[in-house]
Structure formats: structure tokens, C-alpha cells
Amino acid sequence: MTRYANVFFAVVATVVLAMAVLAQTGQPPKPDSAASKPDRVGKPDTVYAEIGSINPNNWTITVSVANDEPVVGISVPLRMTAGLNRIVADSAIFTGGRMANFGQRFFRADTAIQCVLVGGIANMGGPRVQMTPGSGRIVTIFVSSLEKKPLEKLSVDTTTVNPSNSLQIVADSMMGAAPDSPRIEQKDRLIVPVFVVRKAK
């Protein structure tokens, strides 16, 4: 039952992300908007995955984002490996992060393929919300050993998880406050950010 629930949640997350773009522009994002050039607005945005160790059995992945345009949606799928040690992303904390005020935040772990999907949708009705230009943490993911064995190392990379959730950022339709703010064209709003893995100091 859990696996079916996870698949259903992933489908809902994908649909909602598309709806966020549709609500801003009246049109869905074009498939070639992200493929032809990762970021057409300002400098390339970057997603950082910082790996840290709490103790031999428990590690963290702190996900941060650096963006130079307002953001209303983000999807960060990660694949985790720890050699022969089976691991799981067992929880996540959005509190205090840059997505804390998003209308919908999601965290879905798949133990079978050792992947985790985190992200959020800024606006689900009510006051307009966005992630303003800047940089900083969006979420901290906690990773542990399923077999209670010490983890000698933890490796992370981006991936694609069902149903076609990939690393992407959705920019807001305006760069600032209405009505005089420059608008971001619909074809430029779906962004494929740079992905960087680093170790906690």
C-alpha cells in the first residue's frame, strides 16, 4: 500500500508543479524551454547538496539553492549510495529554510532504489508567495543505515524519479512586484539548474 501511495503522491506533485506554471501564464511550459538552455534569466541557478555526518550511522544532506530570479516551484530528486550499506532518507526538515512559507512542500523517499524527492510549490491559493532571489538552505534530509551499520561514506547525485520528476526550478512570471515589474517569458520559466555536491566543513 505504501508504494502505491508514493506513486500517487508523485503524480500529484508533478501535476501540481505543472499547474503552478499554468496558473501564472495560462499555458504549460514548452518541452524545449529547459532543454535548449538551462537558465535564460540572469546567471545560472545552482542547487547544492552538502553532505555531513552526525554519527557513523546517521548523515545529513543539506539542500541549498542560489537563484537570481523569483522562484515558485522546485523539484530536487536525489540518488544516494553508501557502498554495500543499504540506506534510507527517513525524514526532512523544511523549518527555517527558504521554502518554509511555500503552500506545498513534499518529501518522498523510495527505499528500493535509494532515492528521495524533495521540493515545493509556492502558491496553492491565498496570498502570493515566492522564493525571492538569493541563496540558502531549503531543506535538510536525514539519512540512516537500514542495517544499523556504520556508513563510511555517502554519495549523492541528481536523478529522475517516477513519474518523470527531474531537477528543475520554475521561475515566477514577474521579476518583482506588480504592476511595473519586468515579466519573464513563459518559455524561459522552466530552468534546469547547475547541481553541485560538497562536503560539510
84-131: pLDDT as tens digits: 999 999 999 999 999 999 999 999 999 999 999 999 999 987 778 899
Segment 61-89 mean pLDDT: 95
β-strand pairing of 46-55 with 194-199: parallel
Domain span at residue 170 reads 2-199
135-158: pLDDT as tens digits: 999 999 999 998 888 999 999 999
| DSSP code per residue over 104-154 | EEEEEEETTTTEEEEEEES-SSSS---B-SEEEEEEEEEEEETT-PPPS--
- Cell reading at 78: 536525489
pTM value surpassing 0.95? no
Total residues found in the chain within this entry: 201
- Non-local CB neighbours of 99 within 8 Å, separated by 6+ positions: 74, 105, 120, 122, 131, 138, 139
d(CA 51, CA 34): 27
Q: Chain-wide mean pLDDT for the chain?
A: 81
Closest CA to 174 of 66, 41, 43, 64: 41
Closest CA to 173 of 135, 134, 130: 130
CATH of the domain at 135: 2.60.40.680
Q: Which helix (H) or strand (E) holds 72?
A: strand 71-81
- Cell reading at 18: 505543472
d(CA 76, CA 8): 18
Segment 59-67 mean pLDDT: 97
Segment 20-36 mean pLDDT: 42
pLDDT at 134 over 80: yes
Segment 65-77 mean pLDDT: 95
- Cell reading at 173: 512570471
pLDDT at 40: 61
User: How many folded domains does the chain comprise?
Assistant: 1
3-class DSSP state of 187: helix
